[in-house]
Amino acid sequence: MIKAERHDLIVAELAKRGAVSVQNLAELLNASSATIRRDIAELDEHNIVVRTHGGAMLQDRNQELPFDAKVMAFHIEKRRIGAMAASMLTPGTTIGLGGGTTVMNMVTAMKKQTLHVVTTAVNVALELRDAPDIDVLLTGGVFRKRTAELVGHVAERTLQDVNLDVAIIGIDGIDLERGLTTYDSAEAFVNRVLISRAREVWILADHSKFGQVRPAIITEVGAISKLITDQNAPAELVAGIEKLGVSVLAA
């Protein structure tokens, strides 16, 4: 059994049970505990799992939300997408972040880095409270209660004053002709401004978003730099997107 296979199985086991011991995994995978420990350490470095004494778990209980998390759709995929996106950041750069669960997964994975963050999402700011080397600028704006995101002209004007190296946003639908879409038009507009201020645009979207069309258009597919998704994204759609000059990465 090769390393990558073990890693996959460890993540799969965690997805099922939430936490596993080194011993269990050693038996399950016919590997020595030393190897399992090395595997877990590596997965932890990539922020895919959290290493603990005796084993590994999916998330640090300190940040475990009282609700969902484990119920959330495609949370393993989102976590891996977030971890990959976080690992691709250049230290010291300024990144703009929208809202959404996938982006939040990325934020938890990037806490140890050195960055400047501009965001329209209140949750992102709060999550970064214990990130010692990341400063956070909240755009301000009308507080959307459902998503805890900030919209409107205050958000827009604040964004007009910053330059971003990368804008990273989550979406609800991606379609070759209809572009990147979401449910709320005010949020779509703010995301459009975010995009306009950035040299590069990264989109985070698990495979369930492919081929979906939502009411509010954010931008066209050709306008983005990178699309970070999971292994299950439909191949022909991925090919079509790449043909538009977008680099598609599968976590």
Decide: is 73 part of the binding site for its own copies (CB under 8 A): no
Given the complex with its own copies, which of 53 and 177 has the nearer CB atom? 53
Choose which of 68, 133, 135, 220 interacts with its own copies (CB under 8 A). Answer: 135
CA–CA distance, 193 with 203 (Å, rounded to integer): 14
Please state, in angstroms and as integers, the Cα–Cα distance from residue 64 to each residue in 51, 143, 204, 205, 219, following that order: 15, 24, 22, 22, 33
Decide: is 122 part of the binding site for its own copies (CB under 8 A): yes
Decide: is 22 part of the binding site for DNA (CB under 7 A): yes
Decide: is 65 part of the binding site for its own copies (CB under 8 A): no
Number of residues that bind DNA (CB under 7 A): 21
Q: How many residues does the chain have?
A: 251
- Applying CB under 7 A, the span of 53-61, 67-75, 175-183, 238-246 interacting with DNA comes to 53-61
SS3 155: helix
DSSP characters for 94-107?
Answer: EEEE--SHHHHHHH
Given the complex with DNA, which of 33 and 63 has the nearer CB atom? 33
CB of 88 to DNA, least distance (A): 20
Q: How far is CA 40 from the centre of its chain?
A: 21
Decide: is 20 part of the binding site for DNA (CB under 7 A): no
Decide: is 23 part of the binding site for DNA (CB under 7 A): yes
Decide: is 234 part of the binding site for its own copies (CB under 8 A): no
SS3 57: strand
For strands 216-219 and 179-182, give the pairing: antiparallel
CB of 80 to its own copies, least distance (A): 20
CB-CB contact of 96 with 160 (8 Å) = no
Decide: is 61 part of the binding site for DNA (CB under 7 A): no
Tell me phi and psi for residue 183, to 5 degrees: -80, -40
For strands 134-138 and 164-170, give the pairing: unpaired
Q: Which residues are 166's β-sheet partners?
A: 95, 200
CA–CA distance, 36 with 108 (Å, rounded to integer): 24
H/E element, 225:
none
Given the complex with its own copies, which of 19 and 238 has the nearer CB atom? 19
Choose which of 31, 137, 138, 223 interacts with DNA (CB under 7 A). Answer: 31
- Applying CB under 8 A, the span of 89-97, 132-140, 177-185, 243-251 interacting with its own copies comes to 132-140
The residues of the shown chain that bind its own copies, judged by CB under 8 A, are 1-5, 7-8, 11, 15, 18-21, 43, 46, 48, 50, 52-55, 57, 61-62, 64, 66, 122, 125-126, 128-130, 135-143, 145, 148, 150, 152, 154-155, 157-158, 161
The residues of the shown chain that bind DNA, judged by CB under 7 A, are 1-3, 6, 21-23, 30-35, 37-39, 41, 52-55
